[in-house]
Amino acid sequence: MEALRIYTEKPYRLKGEVTISGAKNAVLPAIAACLLTKEKVHLSNVPMVKDVETMLTLLGELGAEYQLKKKSLEIEVKNIASAQAPYKLVRAMRASILVLGPLVARKGKAIVALPGGCAIGTRPVDLHISGLQKLGANITIEHGYIVAEAKKLKGAEIEFDKKTVTGTENLVMAACLAKGETILKNCALEPEVFSLCELLVKMGARIDGIGEETIRIKGVDELCGAHHRIIPDRIEAGTFMVASALTHGDLILKEVEPTHLETIIDKLTISGARVEKLSRNSLRVIGSEEIKPQDVTTAPYPGFPTDMQAQFMVLMTQANGTSIITETIFDRRFAHANELIRLGASIEVQGDKAIVRGKTPLSGAEVVATDLRASASLVLAGLIATGQTTINDIEHLDRGYEKIEEKLRALGVRIERLKNNNNQSGVKK
């Protein structure tokens, strides 16, 4: 198991520039969409993160040929050789479920492992399944696998009971090759859904209502190749924005999409930071000496992202007063709170709420990363925790943050990766 160690003689004040990578959550559905055509799809601004590697391994098993060079990815799926997404890959990355819709739509069959439990709570895929059933797929669960079959999917009207990002993406992709019109209601509004729809339109899909809650798709017989640039990662950007606010720093973020960051900008501004838009795709975040407490409730886009909740919790440990963080999307997404307490934070978890009492000095310790964003929050905490902070099980972080050590090192942080660190935190895994 690898670990990251941050050496903090005195809390850092981050200053400088950081370039934000392409969005993990946008590239994964884009890669899955390549299954819908036999022609080549070119994706640029691809983040070099572990989840991309996992998705490409999965596509390779399904028959794709691909080349990834300098953030530029070329994928061609002339034939779908296998319709099976094996458990080992789905377990490593839940977003593997994104191949379900495209496989049934193009191949007429998909056998995708059920994702099962997850560190951040129960994450069912019932809405993906019931949506595909409404499109005419016959679905059974056999030996832990979703087995979906349909000679030809048929357009239908489907209303999601709950907003689901990958659920919306799966059904939009499936509907592109269905016969007739599909109307999807209560769709997720995340920019990553928007970006996927844009790619599909470039591939020849007929989609109306992109970026709205109701999306209409007129099925076509075939899709073609396309070029598409992956949008900037708003969660990576948000993480560095919090880093600047937390360390009373002065960071310039390049290659961002400010319109995707409005809720995060609002929250940081209320906490006292100054956020300046420097250009169409760059922002400056200047942390204030005093961080103000505030309550945060996670919600689907354009609400405050659950993927920023852990990072914001760290910021609130340094606020002058008490903040209440309410998690409404996932039911067990507070594992990082216990690790932050080990570093000296005062946090009390009560059901879906975390009560954070600031301001408490943090001191370095060994901690364990439990999921992707929890890991990011521990890295942030390490920037202000005096002494050494060692974050174990860092592979979670590698799933979604490209070159985070290099980016932090360039901002003056002393950080190193330890191979085979023997977890000394006393925390059982």
| Residues contributing to the site for ligand UD1 (CB under 6 A) | 25, 28, 94-95, 123-128, 162, 164-167, 188, 192, 306-307, 329-330
Tell the smallest beta-carbon distance from residue 156 to ligand UD1 (Å): 17
| 94 torsion bin: left (phi>0), alpha (psi -120 to 50), beta (else) | alpha
Q: Which lies closer to ligand UD1 via its Cβ, residue 93 or residue 380?
A: 93
What is the rounded CA–CA span in Å between residue 128 and residue 168? 8
Q: Which lies closer to ligand UD1 via its Cβ, residue 166 or residue 389?
A: 166
Cβ–Cβ under 8 Å, residues 64 and 75:
yes
Q: How do beta strands 353-357 and 322-326 pair?
A: antiparallel
Which residues lie closer than 8 Å to 258 by C-beta, 6 or more apart? 265, 277, 280, 281, 283
Q: Which of 118, 176, 187, 197 is catalytic?
A: 118
In degrees and rounded to multiples of 5, residue 172 shows phi and psi of -60, -45
Task: Kindly provide the residue ranges of all beta strands, DSSP E only, lying in 287-328, ordered along the sequence.
Answer: 296-297, 322-326
Tell the smallest beta-carbon distance from residue 200 to ligand UD1 (Å): 16
Q: For residue 118, indicate whether it is catalytic.
A: yes
| 69 beta partners | 72
What is the rounded CA–CA span in Å between residue 339 and residue 90? 27
Q: Which lies closer to ligand UD1 via its Cβ, residue 238 or residue 249?
A: 238
Tell the smallest beta-carbon distance from residue 103 to ligand UD1 (Å): 17
Q: Which lies closer to ligand UD1 via its Cβ, residue 233 or residue 366?
A: 233
Minimal CA–CA distance to 347: which of 372, 305, 377, 376? 377
Positive or negative, the CA dihedral 94, 209, 27, 107 is positive
What is the rounded CA–CA span in Å between residue 326 and residue 230? 31
Q: Which lies closer to ligand UD1 via its Cβ, residue 159 or residue 290?
A: 159
Positive or negative, the CA dihedral 91, 96, 98, 101 is negative
Q: Which lies closer to ligand UD1 via its Cβ, residue 127 or residue 137?
A: 127
What is the rounded CA–CA span in Å between residue 330 and residue 334? 9
Residue type, 367: V
Q: Which residue has the tokens 């928007």?
A: 194
Q: Which lies closer to ligand UD1 via its Cβ, residue 126 or residue 406?
A: 126
| 184 torsion bin: left (phi>0), alpha (psi -120 to 50), beta (else) | beta
Tell the smallest beta-carbon distance from residue 277 to ligand UD1 (Å): 25
Tell the smallest beta-carbon distance from residue 93 to ligand UD1 (Å): 8
Cβ–Cβ under 8 Å, residues 184 and 210:
no
| 70 beta partners | none
Tell the smallest beta-carbon distance from residue 328 to ligand UD1 (Å): 8
Tell the smallest beta-carbon distance from residue 25 to ligand UD1 (Å): 4
Tell the smallest beta-carbon distance from residue 420 to ligand UD1 (Å): 29
Q: Which lies closer to ligand UD1 via its Cβ, residue 307 or residue 393?
A: 307
Residues 86, 90, 93: CA angle, nearest 5 degrees: 150
Cβ–Cβ under 8 Å, residues 246 and 380:
yes
Give buried/exposed letters for 51-75 (b at 16+ CB in 10 A, else e): bbebbbbbbeebbbebeeeebebbb
Cβ–Cβ under 8 Å, residues 361 and 321:
no
User: Looking at the annotation, which residues are catalytic?
Assistant: 118
